[in-house]
């Protein structure tokens, strides 16, 4: 089983700060890397995704940084807000295969 | 509204009983998936189906069974053979395997 290793397991950030979640993958054939956001009691929802031909993708306050040589990618949440408090999952996928998820990061943004 | 409906939201069963979780989608998606979520374990794939009357085992299929008789429906049965059935179960669908997955709201199963 090809793994995606996610860290940290939990994170507390003050309102207005930057939240950073990191993931590392093993399968060099992965060509799609999404991030999902999950609120308590709800299903995950796609937040932002990147392909390995770019090093960074930004959507609003959310940015994915991708380092192909290190086989790592990270999610940065700028100006973190209490409404961003959720569990975040990174994932990887090769072609038309199924997603391989990281174990998740519980983010708490304190007011 | 288009979407994925999982029912019920909460389910309680006695140990040794089989239980079936419902998943219905009206997105006209070909592919459907079942995941299990445990605290600190992420999402683990149980079964997936790319087309009606066809499905494949995921990483943790033991103790589970599925059927795909209709495009819109992909029920999951948790059998008595599943040793630790208490978990949060998520159903998802995508246009086809390998495209963006949309998740339902989940069913929390508690076996006592």
With CB atoms and an 8 Å threshold, state whether B43 touches A45. Answer: no
Contact of A104 with chain B, judged by CB distance below 8 Å, is answered with yes
With CA atoms as reference, report the closest residue to B31 among B88, B107, B101.
Answer: B101
pLDDT, residue A1, reads 52
Report the mean per-residue pLDDT for chain B.
94
> Would you state the pLDDT for residue B40?
84
Element (H, E) at B23: strand B19-25
Minimal CA separation from B91 to chain A, in Å:
9
Q: Are strands B19-25 and A45-50 parallel, antiparallel or unpaired?
A: unpaired
Would you place residue B100 in the very low, low, confident or very high pLDDT band (cuts 50, 70, 90)?
confident
Mean pLDDT, to the nearest integer, of A85-97?
Answer: 93
CB contacts < 8 A, A to B, total: 54
Q: Is A83 helix (H, G, I), strand (E, B) or coil?
A: helix
- How many C-beta atoms surround the C-beta of residue A44 within 10 A? 27
- Residue A18: name the closest of A74, A67, A72, A57 by CA: A74
DSSP label of A97? S
Averaged pLDDT for residues A26-35: 93
Q: What is the mean pLDDT of residues A50-67?
A: 95
Split at pLDDT 50, 70, 90, the class of B1 is low
Q: Which residues of A touch B96 (CB under 8 A)?
A: 96
Q: What band does B36 get if pLDDT is binned at 50, 70 and 90?
A: very high
For residue B2, what pLDDT is reported?
Answer: 67
Which of B43, B96, B102 shows the shortest C-beta gap to A101?
Answer: B43
Chain B residues touching chain A at CB-CB below 8 Å: 4, 6, 33, 40-45, 48, 58-59, 90, 92, 96-106, 108
- Who contacts A23 (Cβ-Cβ below 8 Å, separation ≥6)? A4, A5, A6, A7, A33, A72, A73, A74, A75, A90, A92, A102
> Of A34, A43, A95, which is closest to B104 when you measure between CB atoms?
A43
Q: Provide, as residue numbers in chain B, all residues whose Cβ is less than 8 Å from the Cβ of A5.
A: none
Percent of chain B residues topping a pLDDT of 70: 98
Give B98's pLDDT tier (boundaries 50, 70, 90): confident
Find the mean pLDDT for residues A69-93. Answer: 97
Token pair listed for B94: 């995508």
Query: Looking at the complex, does the CB of residue A95 fall below 8 Å from at least one CB of chain B?
Result: yes
């Amino acid at each position: 089983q090809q793994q995606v290793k996610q860290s940290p397991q939990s994170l507390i950030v003050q309102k207005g700060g930057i939240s950073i979640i990191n993931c590392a993958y093993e399968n060099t054939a992965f060509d799609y890397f999404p991030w999902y956001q999950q609120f308590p009691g709800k299903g995950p929802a796609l937040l932002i995704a990147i392909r390995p031909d770019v090093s960074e993708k930004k959507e609003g306050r959310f940015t994915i940084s991708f380092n192909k040589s290190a086989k790592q990618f990270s999610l940065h949440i700028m100006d973190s807000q209490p409404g961003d408090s959720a569990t975040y999952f990174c994932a990887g996928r090769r072609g038309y295969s199924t997603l391989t998820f990281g174990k998740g990061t519980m983010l708490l943004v304190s007011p | 509204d288009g979407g994925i409906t999982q029912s019920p939201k909460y389910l309680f069963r006695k140990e040794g009983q089989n239980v079936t979780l419902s998943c219905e989608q009206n997105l006209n998606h070909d592919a459907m998936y079942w995941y299990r979520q445990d605290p600190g374990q992420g999402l683990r794939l149980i079964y997936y189906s790319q087309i009606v009357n066809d499905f494949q085992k995921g990483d943790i299929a033991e103790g589970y069974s599925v059927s795909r008789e209709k495009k819109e429906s992909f029920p999951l049965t948790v059998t008595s053979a599943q040793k630790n059935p208490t978990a949060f179960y998520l159903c998802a669908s995508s246009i086809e395997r390998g495209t963006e997955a949309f998740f339902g709201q989940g069913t929390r199963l508690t076996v006592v």
